[in-house]
Amino acid sequence: MENMYRIINMKQLVSKRLKNKNYLASGFEQLDNVTKGFKRKELTIIGGRPFTGKTSFGVSLCRNLIAQLFTVLYVSLELSADQLFERFQMQHSQQFNENIVKSNFFICETVQYPYDYSSLELSVRKLHKEKSLDIVILDYFQLIDNVQTESSSILLKLKNLAKELNLALVVFSQLSKIVEERTTKIPLLDDLSYINGNDGNIHNVFLISRNRVHEGNKTDLFLVKHKDCRGKVISYETNNNFTIGLDVKALNY
């Protein structure tokens, strides 16, 4: 007698459905409301001055992506895998440990410094061939070898990589110290020193700032370049330098 029943692996089913989407929800409600999430085939730059919470933002983003069963690669050019994993555990503890065993999450650490772009791309391509990546997060841009003299070329390669592999590519970057000298303290697109003439290679730019006056522990995420919501700023809660939510408010600036 023919078997009339079949067993469905729900992880594979959900993962398949997620991979068919053009957008990957960040898991932060206010951000997703205005951006729809991170779009496949697009390069997004997230800039900030040192100690403004770029890595913490990346850790929180990974937590949310992992919970949705996306396949995530976090390329750490500054911290070792052990150091980064400690950040994950401090920030998310048991919840992170439970989600990570259900999902495909990978950390790529530097074997030696400087980390050249060719090695980076080779690592991404190899893992994508094996695991079909949904998103790559690179922390951070200025640590790639020769980036100061080859920024235009590297940005173009990153843009093309995201398009070819059909994945979202999020790159953290340092902002110029000029933003600290500005009276308003509001970060601008030009505070990415390599942006002049290269912004055509970047689809989206978000800038992190803690310089504006807020009640409590809040940080601003300025959406300075995005086709759907340019000019928005989202304020989110932080706790001991860790991102705990992006659901405070979204407004124009």
- Is 21-252 a domain of CATH 3.60.110.10? no
The full DSSP string for the chain is ---------HHHHHHHHHHT-SEE--S-HHHHHHH-SEETT-EEEEEE-TTSSHHHHHHHHHHHHHHTT--EEEEESSS-HHHHHHHHHHHHHHHHHHHHTTS-EEEEE-SSSSB-HHHHHHHHHHHHHHH--SEEEEE-GGGBTTHHHHHHHHHHHHHHHHHHHT-EEEEEEEPPTHHHHSSS----GGGSTT-TTTGGG-SEEEEEE--S--SSSEEEEEEEE-TTTTTEEEEEEEETTEEEEEEEEEEE-
pLDDT band at 248 (very low <50, low <70, confident <90, very high): very low
Which of 142-151, 164-173, 230-239 is the least confident region? 230-239
* Spans of all domains in the chain: 21-252
Which of 69-78, 132-141, 196-205, 244-253 is the least confident region? 244-253
pTM of the model: 0.84
Which of 58-62, 93-97, 169-173, 227-231 has maximum average pLDDT? 169-173
Give the residue-averaged pLDDT of 195-200. 72
